[in-house]
Amino acid sequence: MPVEYKDYYKTLGVSKNASAEEIKKAYRKLARQHHPDISKKPEAEKRFKEINEANEVLSDPEKRKRYDTVGPEWERFRQGGQQPGGFQWVYTGQPGQDPFNGGEAGGFSDFFRTLFGEGQADFDTGPLFGRPSARRRRSVAGADVESEVEITLAEAYKGTERSVEMRLPDGATRRLSVKIPAGVRDGQRIRLAGQGAPGSAGGPSGDLFLRVRVRPHPVFQRDGDDLRMDLPVALHEALLGAEVTVPTLKGRVSLRIPPETQNGRTIRLAGQGMPRATGGHGDLYVTVKVVLPTKLTDKERELVNELAASRAGEEPRKGLL
């Protein structure tokens, strides 16, 4: 079956005049999007390999120049015609094998092997007919990998540890134990240097970026390093004042409700918020929500009527009408 031409520019979604920085940016974006650990689509692994192959060529000035030169005359080149510069390359190995190392060609396509002769190496084309002469492979850094981990707000408060399993492009899996620091925020990324996809030809491994997702809490809402909560308070507690128990992520504490506390008043509990990266803790802001009594007894109605009569001159809606 004829080897089909591959449009690496189309694979990365860049123009043929794209700069090295544009190619690098496009590759990183697509590699993260289609990495098998992130994408659940069945074709993710195949797409990931295509993106890596395109980047292998377009990020290398020499490979890119060769690719751009051969492209318009691909059919003649594939059939054993003259290469640019007047030289000819004849491949005599078996399909799907690396003709120089005797093994698999590193997962690269037949198009790549036909054009460059080997899966992950650069080659010089000698002035004679026959096999190209191999030179040292160019080191290529591995791709960065991004994954997610979900924790509770209580775990974010204290810090925790998670075991993360990541799948590498070659299908192998790696399990890592990751420490998540106290005070971590929702959406924050933790960088694990050198724990991403392995590089080729001695190149460094990429990094693993672990994005933290903090589950919503039924009581507390986070506001930076501060916490906020609503505190139900009985009518008589708000009117006469009271000492009530309030939950915090450290444990229960006592809070004094001053007499005649209005509904919606916010009281600050210093140091009861989330740990700060610079040290110390944020604050907890407690908003009073007065709960009116229901199913009043005759005696209670009588008391309320007495209160209403004694304060008949008040105008709480003054200025609104």
pLDDT at 180: 94
Domain of residue 269: give its range.
221-310
Domain count, the chain: 3
Q: What is the pLDDT of residues 218-271, one digit of tens each?
A: 999 999 999 999 999 999 999 999 999 999 999 999 999 999 999 999 999 999
Where residue 43 sits, what CATH number does that domain have?
A: 1.10.287.110
Is 183 in the same domain as 207? yes
DSSP letter, residue 250: S
Same domain for 31 and 128: yes
Q: Which residues pair with 147 in a beta bridge?
A: 210
Q: Do 291 and 195 sit in the same domain of this protein? A: no
Residue 30 has pLDDT above 80, yes or no: yes
Residue 122 is predicted with a pLDDT of: 39
- Residues 17 and 52 placed together within one structural domain of the fold: yes
Residue 164 tokens, joined: 């993360």
What b-and-e string marks burial along 112-121, b requiring 16 or more CB atoms within 10 Å of the CB?
A: bbbbbbbbbb
Same domain, 75 and 37: yes
What's the pLDDT at 107?
A: 59
**Do 40 and 126 fall into the same domain?**
yes
Of 53-57, 130-134, 302-306, the range with the lowest mean pLDDT is 130-134
- pLDDT (mean) for 34-46: 80
Q: Which of 1-10, 17-26, 40-49, 275-284 has the lowest mean pLDDT?
A: 1-10
The residue-averaged pLDDT of 308-312 equals 90
208 lies in the same domain as 225? no
How far lies 294's CA from each of 235, 240, 288, 303, in Å? 11, 19, 19, 14
- The verdict on 275 and 245 lying in the same domain is yes
The domain boundary, picked from 134, 164, 189, lies at 134
Q: Give the integer Cα–Cα distance in Å for 273 and 224.
A: 9
Residue 77 reports pLDDT greater than 70: no
Q: Is the torsion defined by CA of 69, 73, 74, 77 positive or negative?
A: negative
User: Are both 189 and 238 inside the same structural domain?
Assistant: no
Q: What is the CATH number of the domain that holds 250?
A: 2.60.260.20
**Residue 320 tokens, joined:** 């609104």
Neighbours of 213 (CB within 10 A): 11
Let me know whether 199 and 264 are in one domain. no
Q: Is 140 among the domain residues?
A: no
Rounded Cα distance between 112 and 96, Å, is: 11
Query: Per-residue DSSP letters for 102-136?
Result: SSB-TT--HHHHHHHSSSS--EEPPSSSBPPEE-P
241/262 Cα distance (integer angstroms)? 11
Q: Which residue among 108, 134, 160 closes a domain?
A: 134
Q: How confident is the model at residue 127 (pLDDT cuts 50, 70, 90)?
A: very low
pLDDT digits (tens, 9 = 90+) for 133-155: 444 456 677 778 788 899 999 99
Q: Give the pLDDT score at 45.
A: 83
Residue 247 inside a domain? The answer is: yes
More confident site: 257 or 102: 257
Amino acid 101: pLDDT: 34
Residues 229, 160, single domain; the answer is no
Q: What is the pLDDT of residue 316?
A: 83
Give yes or no for residue 287 having a pLDDT over 90: yes
Is residue 164 situated within a structural domain?
yes
Average pLDDT (268-276) is 96
Statement to judge: residues 198 and 286 lie in one domain: no
Residue 139 inside a domain? The answer is no
Question: Stretch 300-316: mean pLDDT, rounded?
Answer: 90
